[in-house]
Amino acid sequence: MEEEGTVILTISHLIQRACPITAASYSVPRSPISTSKPHKNPGGNYRHEESFRTCENPTLQTLKPLNYPTFLVGTLALPSFANCNSPIKCSCFQFSDDSATICCDILDFDPKMIGQKIRILTWNFIPLTCGNGGEKDGFLEIISWEVFQACSGDVCSFSDSSSFCLSLGVCDVKNKSKTSSLIFGIVESISPVFVVPCVSGESGSRNISGFLVDVLVCQCKFCVSKFLASELRDLTEEKVKDHSFEKRAIVYFSGLTSSWHPVVSRFISNVIWLTGLKQKLVFITNEESKLMYVTTDEASLHVTKFFKEQGLSRNTNIKGRGEIGSYTGVITAIYMQGMVVELDQDVILLLTDQHLIVPHCVRVGAIVTLENVHFVDPKFPWAEMLILGACCRTSMYVESFSPLETRGHLKSHSQTLLQKFINSLPFAARLWALLVVSCFRKKFAGILPEKVILGSKHKEGLAQEYASSHLPPSAFQFRHGVLVEFCRHDSCSVGKEEHYFHLRLVLPIANLISYCEISWKKILVNRENFSDFVGDINQKKPLSCGGRSYVQSIRRVLRTEEIGILVLGTLKTSIYSGRLQLVDATGGVDIMLDLPATWNFDKIFEAKDFTLIMEGVPPDLVDSDSTICQPLSCQSIFSTAQPLRTMKISIYLYHCSTDDSRSHSLFFDGKGDLLELDRGKFHLLMLTHKYPIQQRFQGDRAKRSNMFAQAIVLHWDLLVAGKDKDAVRNMVSAGHWKDLLENFTRQENHLTHKRCKTEQALVEVSNCGLNDSGDVLNCQFSGSCCADRNLYTGQTCISNQLLELPCLVASKGVNSHCLATLCCTIEQAKIVSGCVLPRRKVLLEFSPDSFCMYEVLRIGRCYLVQHKEEDILCYPVGRLKVFITSSTKLWCLTFSSMESLQGSDVSDGLQYCNIPTNSDGKISKGYRQLEIPCLTGNAIDNEIYTDVSVFVPSSALNLLETVIGKLDGGSLESKDSFEEESDIHDLGGSMVNASTQSSGNPWADYTLPEGNLITLRGLVVALHDCSCEAFPAQPMPIPGESYLPFLRGTGGVCVHVLVDNKIVRVFCDLNKQTYPVGLVGDVCATFHRVLVLTQQKKYMMTPVSFITIDDTSLINGHTDEFNYAHETVVKLSNTSQSTVPPVLISDALQLSDLKPMQFRCRVVALYILVVQKAKATAVSRSCGCSILSGVEIPLAGFIMDDGSSSCCCWADSERAAALLGLESEEILLEESAETSGRSKAGKGQQYNSTVSHLDKILEQHGRVVAKNYGSMFDSSFQDLALSVGSGRSISSSEQDLLRSLTTKAFLSASWTIVGSLMHPEASRWLEQQLTELDMAVPSLPNVWAASVNRTDVLAEARNTIQWLM
Amino acid sequence: MQGSIMDALYNTHVKLLAFDFLSLSPNPSCPTDPSSFCRKGTPLSRAESVGVIVTRELKPGKFLRFIIDDGTGCIPCVLWLNQLTSPYFSKRNPSGVRLIAQLASKFAAQIQLGVVVRVRGKITGYRGMVQITVSDVVLERDPNAQVLHWLDCIRLARKCYDKYSKNGV
């Protein structure tokens, strides 16, 4: 074997070189050597070949071979634990030559090599750095070896050529040994080497290292007899089989024998016998002792080769509940400093245990076998996996060294608080906690110091704090030392594993996005496979708008609850898009969320129950190779690689409001932030408008202009007195305040009688919510709160003639109520007389650092702002501007009735809640919550994030409602004039300048469009990208006249909104980044201050327009696709038809009148079809002919059949296109008059392909006529004669296309057609048309179709069954 | 008027439930016409049915026989697939025949066991049994379609077919 020129290397040379290499005593081929040896996997899980293929990592290199033959010569020795100061902290074999000693591992281990001088023929060297000083060290992986120089060691009387003996000195086994000194059995498990502090009389205290071995022994008569030793001398394989190894015995190898650990661990499942033992009672704790065999100085270990693999039957009945078994697999990754090892890509081995000794050769690429490892199936909803939990009984050895240049991991021996915490958990929870730690490190890298995230030896880190808050107390177990745990192994985390499936995976945001992208692809791929049967769900029909068709995006929705994930992060407003985002160090994702006004944006937000919405245009071809990557695998969390966003789909989170407060928990919020109102005076503001964020893309991105919002200052101030528990109790209990009210209203009645009729009307309005007395409330309290009022007399800005309402104030998160007074700043008489109160508008200006506050404010809500000295809010001057900084506090406010508090003990900690409850938990009677003036229309928000609740007498609620309503002036419905906007121009000059500068004022040639600004609220049906050409402000856009200047050059978005059962279109000139997240089909949205465009049901967003999304509408449709809008549209279309009576065709024949009727029928055949090229300039609204992508259908007759009879249905261009399957449903709902402009083929869709082919044919021939000379009652017997206007012949492919076009008509399902029998004039026109084409008028009833819709099957079935009953 | 309605009905695809359909008898007035059948004296030639495909027997290039179960009975159907080879079609426009053949094979692919289909076609007789010789097939994806078909059948029978049959008899 040895070749000439073979170099003998020294270990010190290798250590100094510090290069990972592989070498052999013969010339190594260039290709990497194979190091694997055939072996079997007891668990049946041996999958390394497959795993290797899939885990190929291009960055991993194979070990570089030395290019010359070489070998090492040295002695193999056992480790030494006798000296506990030894730097060796592992139980590896030691290989030493003259130069140095290093750890090593041997592939084909033979115990006889111990103590021998051996020559190593093939080996790998892996450099290590250890110790704090980073001393160089290394590790030798011995693949093949031979004895270099046999040295005659101690002779054992038992040893022969086939057996092995290991002893401390001379092995002298007497034939008649005491049975207590000899043990014969199978090694079941072995503990790591551990150290026990011992106190001995003479030498003082010292530490004794040792390890425990569990041996199964036999109880037969030979084994218990004193002749066992002589019996063992003649042991044969046959004889071993006669024994039954069942009884468990623990052998404690202590002192010098502790260095036998690497040898004994090689013999797990093998038959051994040990002599020179002593039975001793060992105290494992202060109270508990256990009888063990302890090694003496005479101890010897005997192994007979015969009995190798005489193992125990393992891996039976493994269900993944912590059972013990063995496993062999390839290491595919190592994470968290070696605490987590990934085997075969989906098995996770946890090596967190402090005492575990992990061989250095545990490197990526190695094949390892684990003995006595716990099998745990965590049943996490987010990923399928198997956890292998290593405990003190687990041993691990390498079956094949890694051929890859990967490094081993040295475990740190100091344990942090976090590690202790992790080790105290059961395996499933342990893995989850490790994932949390890994995720937190990624999430907050650079945001928080590592020490804060991970904690230190004495302080809990953020990750630990979070993890422990999600685990039940029962999850934590006190950990003992190895001695106790080995002896009491039954308590080792078994049986508790199944309780942790609720633990959700905390995802970094980058991973969340990657998960969405992969799910999106998967959905598309899966759907594509199904599309043959259920139709192509991935593709919505193209949306038709303005004579063009647009590809519609599709939406897919996932519930994070179902996926089992959650996301943490901080909330921020993106400086690019101005949208609210959940952000961590890995990225950000848009989020739709309703926050309280007092939200602290520095807090970490935990989004628990939210909906993940993905929206985009499905690609024509779906790239299906995405299945390899598992976005929710442990790998994706542990690995440092950060997934990148690759797809252009919109992904955002929608937070579902639920009762569970944890679902939107502010993690780590503590109780620091009290939202309580201080004593003092507060002004009430009602937000009426928010001006959108002005982008400065051309300039410095980081620099942003200020933000603006508009509010009305209400004529009420809140004077908060303070917490006087007795006063509060008095006020609420027994209607004390009612008496005061009655006193007051009695006086008021006197006044009221004098008022005029109009005032009476108001009185009645106010009356409707009053208590029994029915008295009008115009409270002017002087009694109840006078003590408190005196406090404020100095600050009050208005005269003494004030309206005052006593009230109680409850703040969120504060358990007690405060007394307060609502004080009207206008004279009482003005309110009661119902005169129009002056609006005090105020412009709120937000500095860039208070953008977050701007973000949380909602139009239509009331807010409190604390009064400051010389506050301009006190002076009723025309226009006010208030500068809001980050230090300004705003509280969102709602009014509730005080009666709701009755019956509950207010002062003793009535909890703040939106719906006050009685002590028995039922909702209090008489509780009403004043809907804050409904700027948002019918405010649907069922969970208003109110910061402050003001309880006023229920009768006063009415007054407030009236007064505030009046102040609001119904600005929602009414059209605000441009005057409204001049505010912003005057006051916020910077905004105007900003937009003008950024675009270089390109609109100088155009006059601005004029019109009213209104607020629209409706259901978004669809939206599509659009260019200015397709959305003219005027019927015929002419430059120089009024036009949409904002649209020049850039595309926009056209939003179809269902408002009052009519579809209107709103054009947003903004690019997609500036309209709010979540503005998609099927949501309710409010478009504030949009410009009305010349009565065409068209509106336009202006730079002051603002869109708000009514979140709640999304909750209903969370399954797969929101169909709400579609359903509404269908319902709408049906309601419009419902006015027309449905009839059978046979009945219609008997009717002579020409009233519109409704038929439900199917197309049987085509009678005639004329298709021609649309005129380029035609805007043919008046004749009811729409232009469909350059195709016009001037004449079309279809034979229809409803089961009772047949008729011929004549339709205009648009209806005919629908019957031919050319049109999308959407266009049917729109008025034909809305189509305009030139038509072009849209983007690639099947629909378009037919149309574009047709376009081409018409381009060539101008006009095509198809006449049916065959059967009118059987589609398969119709005989179409095709003729063209050009006079040229039609090619066969053109013929095929035209014929197939007609077949679509009779292959569609049922149509609901509203039409009437043709009146004589129309009949004459028809006859004339047909005569020109050499056709006769069919001898069937001729019906002119006024509308064509697909049948709503369910509604029809309902109607029919009603008719039948 | 009555007569014209009767004539119209003859060319209409009548919606009949299977039990009703199976009770159709050959039209005694025109015994030579293989697709003329009578329901209570009313001559009919075409029918429409909706149901689940329960059997399917394909002779490639020739025909597909299948049975539709509409919940009240089973209607045997045949879909011809021999348009390109049959002399019957040789006189017709080749482009038209090609299209019909293409459609027929598309229908045949759609007709799979368990799917709900709506078929229309001629009423014909085969070995003493009444069947539908299918002209067109539409897959029904809406589960309510079957219910609506039942209701339509009942309504039409009451309001239309029975009404004229009495007078016709």
Contact in structure between B118 and B41 (CB atoms under 8 Å): no
Whether the per-residue pLDDT at A6 is higher than 80: the answer is no
Residue A8: Cβ within 10 Å count: 12
Q: What percent of chain A has pLDDT over 90?
A: 2
Mean pLDDT across the stretch B63-87?
Answer: 92
Residues A1364 and B155: their CA atoms lie apart, in Å, by: 7
Residues A462 and A273: their CA atoms lie apart, in Å, by: 51
C-alpha A773: how far from its chain's center? 55
A929 DSSP assignment: B
More reliable by pLDDT, A983 or A680: A680
CA atoms within 13 A on the CB side of A809: 30
Residues A923 and A917: their CA atoms lie apart, in Å, by: 5
Query: Helices marked H in A794-949 — which ranges?
Result: 828-832, 851-856
Q: Which residues of B touch A1148 (CB under 8 A)?
A: none
Residues A345 and A343: their CA atoms lie apart, in Å, by: 5
- pLDDT per residue as tens digits for the range A938-953: 233 334 456 777 887 7
Whether the per-residue pLDDT at A1315 is higher than 70: the answer is yes
| CB-CB under 8 Å, B160 with A1296 | no
* Beta-ladder partners of A136: A129
CA atoms within 13 A on the CB side of A152: 1
Whether the per-residue pLDDT at A1337 is higher than 80: the answer is yes
- pLDDT per residue as tens digits for the range A1186-1211: 334 567 888 899 999 999 988 999 98
**Cα nearest neighbour of B116 on chain A:** A533
- pLDDT per residue as tens digits for the range A168-208: 777 766 655 666 678 888 888 898 888 877 766 555 667 78
- Give kind and range of the element (H or E) at residue A1188: none
More reliable by pLDDT, A80 or A921: A80
Using CB atoms, which residue from A533, A1273, A1276 is nearest to B100? A1276
Q: Does A1307 touch chain B (CB under 8 A)?
A: yes
What is the C-alpha radius of gyration for chain B, rounded to an integer number of angstroms?
16
Q: How far apart are the first and last CA of chain B?
A: 16
Using CB atoms, which residue from B12, B48, B154 is nearest to A1364? B154
Residues A915 and A294: their CA atoms lie apart, in Å, by: 71
- pLDDT per residue as tens digits for the range A44-83: 443 444 433 434 455 678 888 888 888 888 988 888 765 5
| CB-CB under 8 Å, A1150 with B144 | no
Of the ranges A686-695, A1238-1247, B65-74, which one carries the lowest mean pLDDT score?
A1238-1247
Q: Which residues of A touch B168 (CB under 8 A)?
A: none
| CB-CB under 8 Å, A1279 with B159 | no
* Beta-ladder partners of A1099: A1066, A1092
B158 DSSP assignment: I
DSSP conformation letters of A437-485 = HHHHHHHTBTTB-HHHHHB-SSSB-HHHHHHHHTS-GGG------HHHH
The pLDDT score that the predictor gives to residue A715 is 77
| CB-CB under 8 Å, B148 with A1360 | yes
Using CB atoms, which residue from A1201, A1300, A1360 is nearest to B152? A1360
| CB-CB under 8 Å, A1354 with B136 | no
Q: Does B14 touch chain A (CB under 8 A)?
A: yes
Using CB atoms, which residue from A1147, A1276, A1340 is nearest to B135? A1276
Mean pLDDT across the stretch A598-606?
Answer: 76
| CB-CB under 8 Å, B92 with A1279 | yes
- Pairing label, strands A21-24, A64-65: parallel
- Give kind and range of the element (H or E) at residue A933: none
Q: Does A1326 touch chain B (CB under 8 A)?
A: no
The pLDDT score that the predictor gives to residue A380 is 84
Query: Which of A536, A1164, A1201, A1204 best probes binding to B when mutated, by most B CB atoms within 10 angstroms?
Result: A1204
Residues A207 and A197: their CA atoms lie apart, in Å, by: 4
Comparing CA positions, the residue from A584, A549, A543, A579 lying closest to residue A567 is A584
Using CB atoms, which residue from A1206, A1295, A1306 is nearest to B136? A1306
- pLDDT per residue as tens digits for the range A1047-1060: 444 567 788 888 77
Q: Which residues of A touch B142 (CB under 8 A)?
A: 1353-1354
The pLDDT score that the predictor gives to residue A787 is 31
Smallest CA–CA separation between B166 and chain A, in Å? Answer: 16
Confidence of residue B5 (pLDDT cuts 50, 70, 90): low
Residue A1268: Cβ within 10 Å count: 22
CA atoms within 13 A on the CB side of A1122: 30
Region for residue A793 given its phi and psi (left: phi exceeds 0; alpha: psi -120 to 50; beta: otherwise): alpha
Q: Which residues of A touch B148 (CB under 8 A)?
A: 1353, 1356-1357, 1360
Q: Which residues of B touch A1269 (CB under 8 A)?
A: none
Residues A182 and A228: their CA atoms lie apart, in Å, by: 8
More reliable by pLDDT, A413 or A1274: A1274
Q: Which residues of B touch A1277 (CB under 8 A)?
A: 135
- Give kind and range of the element (H or E) at residue A294: strand A289-304
Comparing CA positions, the residue from A1055, A821, A1082 lying closest to residue A952 is A821
| CB-CB under 8 Å, B48 with A1205 | no
Whether the per-residue pLDDT at A785 is higher than 50: the answer is no
Smallest CA–CA separation between A1175 and chain B, in Å? Answer: 30
Contact in structure between A157 and A173 (CB atoms under 8 Å): yes
Whether the per-residue pLDDT at A613 is higher than 70: the answer is yes
Query: Which of B20, B48, B118, B135 best probes binding to A when mutated, by most A CB atoms within 10 angstroms?
Result: B135
Residues 714-743 of A with CB under 8 A from B: none
Dihedral (CA of A1242, A1245, A1247, A1250) sign: positive
C-alpha A1154: how far from its chain's center? 58
**Cα nearest neighbour of B101 on chain A:** A1276
Please give the structure tokens belonging to residue A905: 């003990």
Residues A269 and A265: their CA atoms lie apart, in Å, by: 10
Smallest CA–CA separation between B129 and chain A, in Å? Answer: 22
Comparing CA positions, the residue from A919, A963, A687 lying closest to residue A825 is A963
Report how many Cβ contacts below 8 Å link chain A to chain B. 105
Contact in structure between A858 and A934 (CB atoms under 8 Å): no
Please give the structure tokens belonging to residue B76: 């045997």
- pLDDT per residue as tens digits for the range A708-721: 888 888 877 888 87
Whether the per-residue pLDDT at A783 is higher than 60: the answer is no
Residue type, A937: G
Whether the per-residue pLDDT at A1093 is higher than 80: the answer is no
Using CB atoms, which residue from A1205, A1274, A1361 is nearest to B9? A1205
Q: Where are the beta strands (DSSP E) in A1043-1121?
A: 1052-1059, 1062-1068, 1084-1093, 1098-1100, 1106-1110
Residue type, A412: S
Smallest CA–CA separation between A1350 and chain B, in Å? Answer: 12
Comparing CA positions, the residue from A345, A320, A532, A325 lying closest to residue A427 is A320
Whether the per-residue pLDDT at B17 is higher than 50: the answer is yes
Smallest CA–CA separation between B35 and chain A, in Å? Answer: 13
Q: Which residues of B touch A1272 (CB under 8 A)?
A: 11
| CB-CB under 8 Å, A533 with B148 | no
Average pLDDT, chain A: 69
Please give the structure tokens belonging to residue B133: 């010789």
Q: State phi, psi for A233 to the nearest 5 degrees.
A: -60, -35
Q: What percent of chain A has pLDDT over 70?
A: 62
Mean pLDDT across the stretch A641-653?
Answer: 79
Query: Which domains does chain B possess?
Result: 2-161 (2.40.50.140)
Comparing CA positions, the residue from A1213, A1210, A1215, A1161 lying closest to residue A1323 is A1210
Residue type, A604: I
More reliable by pLDDT, A665 or A388: A388
Whether the per-residue pLDDT at B44 is higher than 60: the answer is yes
Instruction: Give the C-alpha distances (Å, rounded to integers) separating A725 from A811, A815, A917.
Output: 15, 12, 20
Residues 51-110 of B with CB under 8 A from A: 92-96, 98-100, 102-103
Please give the structure tokens belonging to residue B68: 């539709």
Contact in structure between A832 and A685 (CB atoms under 8 Å): no
**Cα nearest neighbour of A1292 on chain B:** B95
Contacts of A221 (CB under 8 A, 6+ apart): none
Whether the per-residue pLDDT at A620 is higher than 80: the answer is no
| CB-CB under 8 Å, A1206 with B135 | no
Please give the structure tokens belonging to residue A577: 């898009």
Q: Which residues of B touch A1353 (CB under 8 A)?
A: 142, 144-145, 148
Q: Which residues of A touch B12 (CB under 8 A)?
A: 1201, 1203-1206, 1273
Comparing CA positions, the residue from A367, A437, A448 lying closest to residue A400 is A367
Confidence of residue A820 (pLDDT cuts 50, 70, 90): confident
